[in-house]
Chain A
Amino acid sequence: MTENTYDAIVIGSGITGGWAAKELTQKGLKTLMLERGRNVEHIKDYVNATKDPWDFPHRGRRTQQMIKDYPVLKRDYPLNETNLEFWANEKDCPYTEVKRFDWFRGYQVGGRSLTWGRQSYRWSDFDYEANAKEGIAVDWPIRYKDIAPWYSYVEKFAGINGSKEGLPQLPDGEFLPAMEMNCVEKEVAKRIKSHYKSSRSMIIGRTANLTAPHNDRTNCQYRNKCWLGCPFGAYFSTQSATLPAAVATGNLTLRPFSIVTKILYDKDTQKAKGVEVLDAETNKTYEYYAKVVFVCASTLNSTWVLMNSATDIWPGGLGSSSGELGHNLMDHHLGVGASGQMEGFEDRYYYGRRPNGIYIPRFRNLFGDKREYLRGFGYQGSASRTGWARNIAELNIGAELKEALTEPGGWRMGLGGFGEILPYHENKVTLDKTRTDKWGLNILAIDCELKENELKMRKDMADDAAEMLEAAGLKEVRSWDGDGTPGRGIHEMGTARMGRDPKTSVLNAHNQVWDCKNVFVTDGSCMTSANCVNPSLTYMAMTARAVDYAVSELKKNNL
């Protein structure tokens, strides 16, 4: 028993699991980090990171075999030849789609911290207050002031680049030098600012790429191959940042191939005593014990662990007493935007592949604007010159075509929207008792859809994008409203929400399970609303804050 006993257990090794492990170990706790997938060693296991385009037999494109093996991933851009090993095996790990839900998962040490888009934004009180003000779902139990110092704390460690803009809806942070807009983006930003009299702004994106050396990590080399793993460690991932910090304490044990099947609840103490682990390779089960458990298995999977930890006291799963466990699933809806061409600037170009674009922060339903829907959306996008794949109508084949395609074409700019999805009780996950995965474990059934509020918003998302591009002088502007199926945002949130009342929420203001006080859930499952900005930075801040609270409670013998 003693050899299986630690001070803390962290389930999952992605963005939040890595942070939990770093914080717990640095505070002196012997910590076991459990990861269901294989180990991925920093640099060594980034097997495609230094390949050239011609080293890929299909030049990065997908084969019919890949399409067959990845029936979900094939629905969007993530299915590709260059980083297939960073996506979950769908045959081994199926899930049930009551309604279509595109769930793109990364089951390995580092999770999706290896492949994430790295866009890093603070949320504001417009977001933390929205539910209360509009009477939607339940109130967040925290406000911006509660989390602001923790945003600073995680930004300083992770290394977030950005520009100070003084926007109330997108608070400034502790930034490394901002990346640069290209000449067309600068011009478009200027024209948008002037056309909308500063009520809308286009800023450079804020990302977790190092724009200067930071904490012994090398700065970005502008290769834009982040999602293959960075051999320079220049973007934030578990491997590049939190894992080495945790390992350096001497307090971390990492166990890959460890599927946590349940949290072991002790009726007498009314606390968790540890977890049960199924070894994914040997199918043997083990028990590990600890004083505190951090559930960081990613949204949906953390909820799966809680649901699978049902006991006769909590038949719906650990943390289910409110009836909200599994409910209020959210994502960001996207697949809608506009693009156009910018005339002129033929004598301008750029150097380097910037792993970042521009960002247009939310402007709808703010500062007196009132729409027929609640909340809002932001845009990401970029301007670039077209390349060899462009069609040149007047040239068909031959030397002239070849020579023309060796030069850059005209400039284009595109904007893609990221819209908020409201927390609806009926958007939910449940355990599908009729189906199992490779290990005989019941799988999740996902039942989620966009509703009227989101569909109304999408019209604005397309129209506003087109209007702004036209206002900025782009020609041939066209908008699109494509596939907004939930899941495609890869920003799953909710299903174990925070709240002020144990009767209506799963977690309290410190991400502590109301029903079991030594269990904390700090990944996207905890979110009470979804906002429209990328959520990972908020998960980091929540995690660091929750660990600080958990350790202080441990010291007071309250856990």
Chain B
Amino acid sequence: MNRREAISAVGVLLGGTIIGAEFFLTGCKNSDKKTGAIAFSKEDAAYLDEIAETILPTTASSPGAKAAEVGSFMTVMVTDCYDEEDQQIFLAGMTSLDKSCKQKYSSSFMQTAPEQRHALLVELDKEQVAHQKNKKGDERSHYFRMMKELTLLGYFTSEIGATKALRYMESPGHYDGDLPYKKGDKAWAT
């Protein structure tokens, strides 16, 4: 992001309409804290893939987050970019999510049917919205907020997300500032 984009992002952030605005502007929060050494397993990545797929599923028009390997993207971001406190919230969230699933559907998230996964995450999304709304100054984000942000970021900047769900032109060649648009036309990836 260059300076002009930064100016616009401040504006969007101010409107409270951006997902992961902190990533855009300053990266992870409370950055002076150290990063703990954490390690995700293949199973973790597979589990996160399913969470991501539930947030952004495969549809008629494009493959979903799992195809874009968003699960392993999340593990990279949490390992390298999150500070220790956020890492712990994220890890605890992974456990807590599965626990909720077991309580509600008597089966782990990996074994639960897509409809039940969807219903569970809809509830968690409501929870994170309420948390974000009520949280005070330095209080950390809800873990599901983190998962959702990373899913959107990971998917729409992946090759599948950018070229199949969105439109991507590496080198547009010219500029047209007034192009007709009709509902259903895809947004530009960058």
Q: Using a CB-CB cutoff of 8 Å, which residues 58-102 of chain B contact chain A?
A: 59, 61-62, 64, 76-77, 80-83
B27 CB to nearest chain A CB (Å)? 4
Per-residue CB proximity of A36-54 to B under 8 Å, as 1/0?
A: 0000000000000010111
Per-residue CB proximity of A155-188 to B under 8 Å, as 1/0?
A: 0000000000000000000000001111101100
Q: A354-B175, A386-B12 are in contact. Are A380 and B170 (CB under 8 A)?
A: no
B6 close to A76 (CB less than 8 A): yes
The answer, yes or no, to whether A341 is at the interface (CB within 8 Å) is: yes
B176 close to A347 (CB less than 8 A): no
The answer, yes or no, to whether B18 is at the interface (CB within 8 Å) is: yes
Q: Using a CB-CB cutoff of 8 Å, which residues 313-371 of chain A contact chain B?
A: 337-341, 346-354, 356-357
Q: How far is the CA of A61 from the CA of B121 in the complex (A)?
A: 26
A396 close to B3 (CB less than 8 A): no
Q: How far is the CA of A556 from the CA of B92 in the complex (A)?
A: 78
B175 close to A222 (CB less than 8 A): yes
Q: Using a CB-CB cutoff of 8 Å, which residues 1-32 of chain B contact chain A?
A: 1-8, 10-12, 14-21, 23-28, 31
Q: A54-B159, A221-B171, A396-B122 are in contact. Are A347 and B177 (CB under 8 A)?
A: no
Chain A contacts for B178, CB-based, 8 A: 182-183, 186, 348, 350
Contact of B172 among A62, A223, A389, A405 (CB under 8 A): A223
Q: How far is the CA of A388 from the CA of B61 in the complex (A)?
A: 16
The answer, yes or no, to whether A67 is at the interface (CB within 8 Å) is: yes
How many A residues touch B, CB cutoff 8 Å? 82
Per-residue CB proximity of A375-413 to B under 8 Å, as 1/0?
A: 000001110111111110000111101110111110011
Question: Which has the most chain A C-beta neighbours within 10 Å: B7, B15, B81, B166?
Answer: B7
Q: How far is the CA of A420 from the CA of B2 in the complex (A)?
A: 21
Per-residue CB proximity of A42-80 to B under 8 Å, as 1/0?
A: 000000001011100111111111110000001011011
The answer, yes or no, to whether A227 is at the interface (CB within 8 Å) is: yes
| Binding-face segment, A88-96, A476-484, A515-523 | A476-484
A180 close to B175 (CB less than 8 A): yes
List 23 A-B pairs, Cβ < 8 Å. Answer: A64-B81, A76-B6, A77-B1, A180-B177, A185-B177, A224-B190, A349-B181, A380-B7, A387-B187, A388-B156, A388-B166, A389-B20, A389-B152, A389-B153, A391-B19, A398-B55, A399-B57, A401-B56, A412-B15, A413-B11, A416-B4, A478-B14, A480-B14
